[in-house]
Amino acid sequence: MTAIPSRPRATWVLILAILAGVSFWFVGQHTIPRPPWIAWKGAGVGLLTIWAALNARGRDGWLITVVLALGTLGDVLLERSQSGGALAFLAGHLTAIILYLLHRRSKPSPSQIILSVLLFVGVPLIAFLLPADRAAAPGIALYATGLGAMAASAWISRFPRYRVGLGAVLFVASDLLIFAKMGPLAGSLIPVMLIWPLYFAGQALIAWGAVTTLLRWKDDEDLHHRL
């Protein structure tokens, strides 16, 4: 007897999320009034949050929903308060760490362990070195410690590495570009061009990978209980 895999509900919400996130990249900050611009910015991950909530089937489904909700909050708060936005994202990273460690691999390969350690140690170190304002460096490194731990725990979790793990790494790359914009890449077009697409692609991969994997695991668990 085999289980019929559950298809994610409300795929149209996922499609709308992707359209909102991709289209936002083409919207200049000064081409439309600021309130709708901020709403547009939050719409991409906000719709990913709704999609995750519609597919939540237990504790872990709600954990990934909270992760995405805090990302949405961070997107919006960053336009009003850098520290408020950073705290929302940090809370999201800590929630994600809990989810990933609940599903850590029992026997990760040596290469997985090495990359996980590099993310955990390297991300805060690089983040500390990037900003020209050295007074801001400790706070940035503190945030980046949570960021690196999130990516490290994602990479050694049982979630698909080339969806959730890759998404976490893209998130890291986006944030490191933000910090580089405060230092060696100040005035460069590279952060302007890449920060948003790396960030949104990362969040979308995390949402897609986590939600579909949790549905599959739930199907397997239900089948096991029926046998």
Domain definitions of the chain by residue range: 11-226
Helix 137-155 and helix 82-102: axis angle, to 10°? 30
For the chain, the residue count is: 227
What is the block-wise mean pLDDT of the chain (227 residues), using blocks of 10 residues?
A: 67 97 84 89 97 96 98 96 96 98 93 96 97 95 98 97 97 98 94 96 98 88 54
pTM of the model: 0.92
The per-residue pLDDT for 2 is 47
The per-residue pLDDT for 222 is 54
Phi-psi region of 104 (alpha: psi -120 to 50; beta: other; left: phi over 0): beta
The per-residue pLDDT for 167 is 98
